[in-house]
Amino acid sequence: EYDGERNSEGERHGRGKARLPNGDTYDGEYERGFRSGQGTYRFQNGACYIGKYLQNKKHGQGIFFYPDGSKYEGDWVNDQRHGYGVYTYANGDTYTGEWFNHNRHGQGTYVYKDTGAIYVGGWVNGNQEGEAELIYLNHRFKGKFLSGNPVGRGKYVFDIGCEQHGEYIQSEQDKGEVEEEEEPSLLVAPKWKASEITKLTLWTPHGETPPSPREVSEVSSEFFSPAGGSGKEDDGSREEEENQDQEDQGEE
């Protein structure tokens, strides 16, 4: 069903309202038969998109409200989250930063609501990757991440005025236990191996040897597990819109 303006060729053109066979509705602008311009698309499952369209696809600035209560507000390109935007997840976490082909990609900040931890740094295809800083209540970690986990050399900076240098290494001690698990695909989290405690220094993220201050305390090779969350989206908690946006261009 369509109620709105048409051009001389009979195509939907201008302002109009449409009800799709699947129960979805669109109220907004059309151009030569396509949703183009500003519009509001409401899905039967409760999701809603308010923003720009170009030839039936979300393109430009827009807000998408997902059925689980999460929300994305930002740039869209060809129906994908792409550019810069803010995603508020159903659990209260937020991501603010760059997107590429629907994934967190580039530089961005992820805030964990439950712990108050903040990840500031690089992302690749939705995962924490590259140089970054993980900020906690009274200390922070500076180093590199790969596939959501810290890797290699880094340091913890404590508010009391000291730093703990060290590196994250992949643990070998749990291999036997992992083989007995029902889900052997789960990777063992890397362990923190501390090397020294120093006064505050400049961050050297590229792996250079940190400066040697006068007071250096040798630390025993204790292992610490990385704190904080993984920053991964809960893909199972919401339905994406790609399979829902099924307007038939030819309906009357």
Taking the CB of residue 120, how many other CB atoms lie within 10 A of it?
18
**Count of domains for the chain:** 2
Judge if 106 and 197 occupy the same domain. yes
For 121-149, the pLDDT digits (tens) are 999 999 999 999 999 999 999 999 999 99
Q: Report the SS3 class of residue 228.
A: coil
Judge if 43 and 119 occupy the same domain. no
Q: Judge whether 120 and 104 are in contact, CB under 8 Å.
A: no
Domain encompassing residue 66: 1-83
Q: Report the SS3 class of residue 176.
A: helix
Judge if 104 and 158 occupy the same domain. yes
pLDDT (0 to 100) of residue 201: 76
Judge if 9 and 75 occupy the same domain. yes
Query: Does residue 183 fall inside a structural domain?
Result: no
CA atoms within a 13 Å half-sphere pointing along the CA-CB vector of 195: 12
Judge if 106 and 153 occupy the same domain. yes
- For the cut 70, the answer to whether the pLDDT of residue 208 exceeds it is no
The domain that contains 51 carries what CATH number?
A: 2.20.110.10
Query: Does residue 126 fall inside a structural domain?
Result: yes
pLDDT (0 to 100) of residue 34: 97
Paired residues of 73 in beta bridges = 63, 86
- For the cut 90, the answer to whether the pLDDT of residue 178 exceeds it is no
Structure-model confidence comparison of residues 238 and 40, the more confident one? 40
What's the mean pLDDT in 144-172? 91
Alpha-carbon distance 109 to 52, whole Å?
25
